[in-house]
Chain A
Amino acid sequence: MAEVRPDEVSAILRKQLSGFDSEIDIYDVGTVLQVGDGIARVYGLSKVMASELLEFPNDVMGMVLNLEEDSVGVVLFGESNLIKEGDTVKRTKRLASFPVGNKLLGRVVNPLGEPVDGKGSVQHEKYMPIERKALGVIARQPVKEPLQTGITAIDAMIPIGRGQRELIIGDRQTGKTAVAVDAIINQKYTHSKEAKAVGINPVFCVYVAIGQKDSTVAQVVSKLDEHGAMEYTTVVSAPASTPAPLQYIAPYAGATLGEYFRDNGQHSLVIYDDLSKQAVAYRELALLLKRPPGREAYPGDVFYLHSRLLERASKLSDELGGGSLTALPIIETQQGDVSAYIPTNVISITDGQIYLEPNLFNSGVRPAINVGISVSRVGGNAQIKAMKKVAGSLKLDLAQYRELAAFAKFGSDLDKSTQQTLAKGARLVELLKQGQYAPVPIEKQILSVFSGTQGFLESIPVKDVKRFEKELIEYLDLKTHEIFTEIREKKSLSDELTEKIKNSIGDFLTKFKRSE
């Protein structure tokens, strides 16, 4: 057994204490007047700042939310039964803040930056306040680079750009989290050497879990780990069992970390899963702080709650390094009611939304995206030219299909052109189906969309479409790999290349074995 020599111990102690000066400590204090339900009212603290952190006994921290005439309303980040009336509260003179730095990647932390994954203490570069003012007009530039989610339906029709805010909205069990997790997994490509060679910058991801089950968070983390996505991802977890104040600050903490990457000229993707639960947590706090309730009992500033968060998503100007923060907020609707208070608010704040529908989900269309009402208001610049070219008619074809499909249910005699539209639509819908955790690279997406919109699928039975797509991609990858390379490098389709693709697909079509 190793021996511990007393002089060694004292040497270490002396070293540790060398910086310790026994100077007089000056601090401001207050007294707890009332405590309960995660809220404390404190008397004194006359110079305290809004959203300053306070130190209570038993290592409980609190954050100032209300500054009143004679008292201060404080939300507690710990157990309120550890605090008694009459306890002394110390000011920290520090605003609520979150540790940032590259070492946070791969970690699961709570909204205060404390690790919850059991991998030891978190190394951080510095602390940044969780509430920061969003950047102004001068500091920004229009969104111009695409953020590929790896989901064909989204990348083709509802493209998301770096620096955009795109809402993912839908009922429970419609695959909202799946879309977000797929988007994170697909960023793995951006960290590769090939991506660097064609000028695609890496995207760092932050997944903020608010008010979810601990088991769900653990599942997401293990899936990300399995696909090697934790290397560039931080999970900020405020599960349902944590006090409401922590759930309330979680998205701001996530945004702070995203901003760290953005301000360093890098790119980040922050997912807030989900903001309806955060609004509920905030409502709880507001009601306990006796702020007057408004519609659906939410306080008056619940719009500002989300707008100030989502405004922090931005694409920086080139002078500031050109970094970006893309936000994918998630909202859960009840029974498809998008006209409820929180969904309408967040819809109006974001640059577009992805609707997920239970009907589609149950009929096997997964991801269950309703492309008819999903939009992305950033538009063309978020897509590479090649994709823009092939996907142009996709949305229109699908819209026509949906319109006719509703009619076709009643009539039996349909003219030829109607039948054609229906057949094409059914194949396109089939083509856009995609498994979970299986993001598709953009060049492969382009090829499959191309085969669909150019009418190559007409002779393929609907049930064979998925197999056709898979085998086509495999075939092209083997035979004419240069097509993919060219799309990736040039990002556009020249007439020559289009011709080449057409020929290759034509070749494959003759070899494809239709099922009986």
Chain B
Amino acid sequence: MTEPVPASPKAIEALRDEGPLAPPRSQAADVWAQFRKHKGAMMGAAVLIFITLAVLLGPYIWTLDPQRLDIRNKDLRPIYTALWDGTANVSWGHPFGTDNLGRDQLAQMIAGGRASLAVGWAAMVLSLLIGTGVGVLAGYFRRLDGPLMRITDLFLSLPILPLLLVAVTLFRQPLRAAFGPEGGMFILIVTIVGITSWMPTARIVRGDILALKEREFILAARSIGTTSGKIIRRHLLPNVLSPIMVSATLGLATAIITESALSFLGVGFPSDFPTWGKMLADAVPRMSEFPERVVLPGTAISLTVLSVNYLGDGLRDALDPRLRGR
């Protein structure tokens, strides 16, 4: 028996790590690191969170009822007009002023934002569900690909805005009778916007699924007997999450704009139910005397959509592994 050779301490010294190893980075951390580099996206996210919190918590902080008529205090200007016009009719009780019926504009903005954002989110979720569903089915099952894509092309060649107007004017009465004026209109607008805006998502998802399903890990999953539903849920959907999230931001932006456009054209929510588009439309006839009533809701719409667009831009960069880390 030979003596065990004592291991040279030198070699081990060279192999030893200098400090503790950095913990492995998760994908989420990578995405977050890249996302933080995009200044516009960070700003967008901050503004969107601020607006969302403002409309969610606003009614508890600013407790005035948006529908309360205070006819003695009608046509108040916003508080900031006092900066350049000392004679302006302003009041600290109504910082954003009041409208021609004396309704508080700040409370209306909060209530209108709730409606606009709720419609935007709901329509976006609906169009994502339809789009992802159609895209996954068309991409995964070859027999469904042809018919589903023909339907997508058909929907793409529909004139969206005229059809929206037609559908809203046609189905307003029955839905209002069934679900009440606000609920019926909400369901109608969300459904119509959702049904007419799922096509881009479906196309993107289908393209990605077509490429993914030829990969080895899908073959492996199939060869151990995984069912189609499981493959879609466990292996395909997580991999197409990033394009879905990007088109979600775009969908949110278009849904908010479409709802405001319908309200602006006078086919949206009932007249006593404020949304940003409705407030803007109502203010247009007297905008030379009270420009702030156009500017405030218009700025709210534009700021929300702008922040959502920047958020989408940043998400696209952050979720693309080829761009990440550069």
| Co-complex (A, B) | no
